[in-house]
């Protein structure tokens, strides 16, 4: 590989690293803090940030911090518009909020993480920490288990072994064997329920959205206070499963 190609690849990797750091922190950062987080020379990051701001991949605030840019938003909207599963699931998400009055999320897998790609808040004052763009380890959520449930036994176990992390509440399962078995059972039952694993006093009731091959490509879930989930679990389980099935029918499954 030529020196020019290596330099170009290094620049691309460093750009992606900067944007990944911002996405993980979910807040603007100074170029100095970005350099520290990336473990890169400050001069390299300053120069890179200037170039990315010029190209609208990043934006610069009045306090000289940087944030994700408008160009990324355009790319994201175009990409999301092509996702048939998201378009169909979004309609069911809105209907499910109207029917249940609770907050509903659409999630998918991003490597070893679960990613929230859609969210509609329910009535009342209940708010969850996770919102669109939030990424958490797959073992923290009901949706995370479902997203691996269709995989073969070894692949599923290996995925959990590589990605499982303790949660802030200390209640998320981390053993890959138990996670793998639970994920398969949840997927076969088309329902996963989890209490207090990622946030205290918060429950999640999720159902898988499967493609024509039977793989779980996304989930639709109801997120609500744990006490309400206990009281309404059977009702909400039927509702979320019905929503998932409606999305699958719209996709021709």
Q: Vertex 98, ends 97 and 102: CA angle to 5°?
A: 35
- The DSSP code sequence of 121-180 is --SSS---S--TT-EEEGGGSHHHHHHHHTS-HHHHHHHHHHH----TTS-S---HHHHH
Q: What percent of the chain has pLDDT over 90?
A: 70
pLDDT of residue 79: 66
Domain 83-250 fold is: Beta-Lactamase (3.30.450)
180 compared with 249, residue with greater pLDDT: 180
Q: pLDDT tens digit string along 11-20?
A: 889 999 999 9
Mean pLDDT within 174-202: 94
Contact between 104 and 223 (Cβ < 8 Å): yes
pLDDT band at residue 5 using 50, 70 and 90 as cut-offs: very low
pLDDT of residue 82: 56
- Residue 188 neighbours by CB under 8 Å, 6+ apart: 149
**CATH number of 3-74, picked from 1.20.1090.10, 1.10.10.10, 1.10.3720.10, 3.40.640.10:** 1.10.10.10
Q: pLDDT tens digit string along 95-133?
A: 999 999 999 999 999 989 999 999 999 887 777 777 888
CA-based nearest residue to 119, from 147, 89, 77:
89
**Domains of the chain: which residue ranges?**
3-74, 83-250
- Residue 32 neighbours by CB under 8 Å, 6+ apart: 42, 45
Q: Is the pTM of this model over 0.75?
A: no
């Amino acid at each position: 590989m030529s020196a020019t190609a290596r330099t170009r690849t290094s620049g691309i990797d460093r750009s992606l690293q900067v944007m990944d750091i911002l996405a993980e922190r979910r807040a603007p950062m100074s170029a100095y803090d970005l350099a520290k987080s990336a473990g890169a020379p400050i001069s390299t990051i300053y120069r890179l940030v200037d170039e990315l701001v010029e190209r609208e991949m990043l934006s610069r605030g009045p306090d000289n911090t940087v944030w994700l840019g408008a160009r990324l938003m355009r790319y994201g909207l175009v990409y999301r518009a092509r996702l048939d599963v998201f378009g169909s699931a979004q309609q069911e998400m809105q209907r499910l909020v109207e029917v249940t009055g609770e907050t509903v999320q659409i999630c998918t897998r991003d490597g070893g993480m679960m990613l929230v790609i859609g969210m509609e808040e329910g009535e009342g004052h209940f708010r969850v920490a996770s919102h669109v763009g939030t990424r958490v380890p797959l073992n923290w959520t009901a949706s995370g288990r479902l997203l691996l449930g269709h995989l073969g036994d070894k692949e599923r176990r290996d995925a959990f072994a590589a990605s499982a992390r303790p949660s802030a509440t200390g209640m998320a399962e981390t053993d890959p064997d138990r996670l793998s078995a639970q994920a398969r059972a949840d997927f076969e039952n088309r329902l996963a329920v989890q209490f207090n694993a990622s946030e205290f006093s918060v429950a999640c009731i999720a159902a898988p959205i499967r493609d024509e091959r039977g793989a779980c490509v996304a989930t639709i879930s109801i997120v609500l206070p744990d006490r309400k989930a206990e009281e309404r679990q059977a009702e909400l389980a039927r509702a979320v499963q019905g929503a998932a099935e409606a999305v699958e029918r719209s996709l021709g499954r």
